[in-house]
Amino acid sequence: MATVTTLDGTEIYYKDWGEGRPVVLSHGWPLQADSWEAQMLFLASNGYRVVAHDRRGHGRSSQPWNGNDMNTYADDLAALISHLDLREVTLVGFSTGGGEVARYVGRHGTDRVAQIVLVSSVPPFMLKTDDNPGGVPVEVFDGLRAASLADRSQAYRDLADGPFFGANRPGQERSQGIRDSFWLQGMQTGARNAFECIAAFSATDFRPDLAAFDVPTLVIHGDDDQVVPIEVGGRRSAELVKGAELTVYEGAPHGITETHKDRLNADLLAFLATYPASA
């Protein structure tokens, strides 16, 4: 397996497909690089080098006790980009991965970055606080933590069968295969890593990180996202990133990398094409 070892000895697994200008994909919780399968195949087949990693504690990467926070996730991403010496990168973050991408920019800048895409992403700040009154109440995340401790396997089943892919909406049927894949990927994540990641994606304030964005940015979000509501995530991020383009998928749920993969693939390819290749 292809891995990079971080400063604290954690091994980060990654896939590296295709040739061309690099696209780096950061996945959501509690998933892994396999959740980008449709996008990796499509973009690598259309002239891009596509890299996707398993976040620490997830999938085939090490499951360390510590480092389950956004600063460390961002530093792990920086280690991967540096290890492969990637430049003129388009960073694409889905859900929690959008937070990872934002924190990467906040901590490491955009010297290696050409473009950014936030897909159903958690920035700018999910948690409801005094200075973020439109956020999601902490009780929601406490409930997710409680469910994870009580029966983690069933908690992932409930997410996959319900709000993640919008299967709880009338007339919205999702295949057993898609739902099983979510559960399987979740169960390959370390229990502590997955538990602590809930705080990482919900209670991290990415507003200062978004202020550091200085490259073309595309924000894609479904307006029926029950996991990261568009008013909490996509619309606010697009407002905070200067010049960002917001694309709304009408009636779409959170997991659009699967449910709307053809549209997402086309939108990613079109956005990638707006960046001129180096001479």
Nearest CA to 160 out of 132, 190, 129, 181 is that of: 181
3 state DSSP class of 119? strand
Write down the catalytic residue from 75, 225, 237, 260.
Answer: 225
Whether 225 sits among the annotated catalytic residues: the reply is yes
DSSP state of 249: E
DSSP state of 98: H
The alpha-helical segments, DSSP class H, found in the chain are 37-44, 70-83, 96-108, 138-161, 176-187, 191-203, 207-211, 234-240, 256-259, 261-272
Asked if 131 is an active-site residue, the reply is no
SS3 content of the chain, % helix, strand, coil (to 5): 40, 20, 40
254 part of the active site: yes
The single residue of 53, 221, 254, 260 carrying the catalytic annotation is: 254
The active-site residue out of 95, 120, 148, 202 is 95
Question: Helix, strand, or coil here: 148?
Answer: helix
Q: What is the token pair recorded at 92?
A: 């694409």
Q: Which residue has the tokens 């749920």?
A: 253
Whole-angstrom distance, CA of residue 101 vs CA of residue 74? 7
Alpha-carbon distance of 215 to 147, in angstroms, equals: 39
Write out the catalytic residue numbers: 95, 225, 254
